[in-house]
Amino acid sequence: MPLLSDRVEEDKHFLKLKENALRAVQAGVPEDFRDPMKFTSRLILWTELGAARHAKC
């Protein structure tokens, strides 16, 4: 069985947000969603295709 890293590519199947990009996203999110994110150093957002591939592994 292939590894997940062989099946998914960053920027095509998921986005990894760090530092400035993460702060920009946090600033545009409502307060109730922002509170749990205030202690995170990175955030991974899956695309629909990436989530489907991830579920198949």
Q: How many helices (H) and strands (E) does the chain have?
A: 4, 2
Q: How confident is the model at residue 1 (pLDDT cuts 50, 70, 90)?
A: low
Closest CA to 50 of 1, 5, 2, 12: 12
pLDDT of residue 57: 62
Distance from the first to the final alpha carbon of the chain: 8
Q: pLDDT higher for 18 or 2?
A: 18
Q: Yes or no: say if 37 and 17 are a contact pair by the CB < 8 Å rule.
A: no
User: pTM for the whole thing?
Assistant: 0.68
Amino acid at 20: N
Mean pLDDT score, 19-48: 88
